[in-house]
Structure 1
Amino acid sequence: MNISRPLLLVSGTLISLIAHGVAVLGEAARNAEGLGFSERFGIGRLAAGLGKLTFRQLKDIQFEVWEFLSFGGMVAVMAAALAGMDRGSRWLPVGYLSLLVVLGGWKALLMVFYAPIFLFKLVFEPLPMDGEFFADSTARYMGAGVWLLVLSVWALSGFIKWRPKWLMPPRVRHII
């Protein structure tokens, strides 16, 4: 079974969009529920906050510049995939990833490694979150970190595919 690289990229982009969207909705639900900074809460209170969600809570979330660029990149990859574009510059993912990391995405890349620990705690601890989790944008950074991880894999796969062209074995010369 040969899974194509564009299919993996589109599925990774969809997962990134969903993860970032859930994190933004969770932060807005926390604001709608009025949870305090150090107040511990679970999924039930967060779901109650989703019921009270209005456009005002979404408008109050302060996004950083790199988050707008990240979302724009996700939308651009989805649009290119739907348009049937299958080729692009090898340097585009590397340059885009570098720009996002320099502008502040390094925090999201670190948080993506914290995500498995958080999910483990979510299963075994009834109240894993507090208001600080959303107030410090930890959830948003974890969601955006998924996109940066997809970009890292995309860039790495491009270099692995490109590698045989720039690292050829030396030719054997027959000298008599």
Structure 2
Amino acid sequence: MTPEPPSISDEMREHARALPNSWLYVLDPSVDPDAEAPPELVVGAYPVDEHGDLLLDFQHNPAYRPSQVAPPTDPLDAALQDLSAGRGSREAVLALLRSSELLLLDTVGDGLVLHTTPDGHEVVQAFTAPEHAHASGAQQGWRTRRGRELARILPAGVGLQLNPGSAVSVTVPRSSLLR
């Protein structure tokens, strides 16, 4: 499971332009940007090229532990939050994911809506609770599918992106769902 890279803001692009050939560090929202952050509150970093442009090759900090995450909306969200904070296990999250009902964008027929992530990977977006679906900004209708059912119908090479836009969002490879 891969955590989603943070969104790139105009302010981040501006900082990068002033710091060519360097790294732009992304800090936990609880950190004062003018203070020195402890390693566990550094989310990761984007490389900055010689022109001051951010490259999309975000490097996650494996020591990062989110400081403030909203209360979980459901058992799967709680398990994802625990895993991101260094508690719980990947296997427990995958087992819960396979048995959970997830919200997907409703489509005509039985198809899946594919999205391309900023780093070029194809995913199907799914949400663990209506709160995450509504917070994503998508205005379409929703339908439910169990994780194990999605594992069988996801095309090869397409990941399952859980709770995109949420504080804890991960992409799960199809191969991990099938185990």
Structure with greater helix share of residues: 1
TM-score scaled to structure 1, two decimals?
Answer: 0.26
Structure with greater strand share of residues: 2
Choose between structure 1 and 2 for higher RCO, CA contacts under 8 A separated by at least 6 residues.
Answer: 1
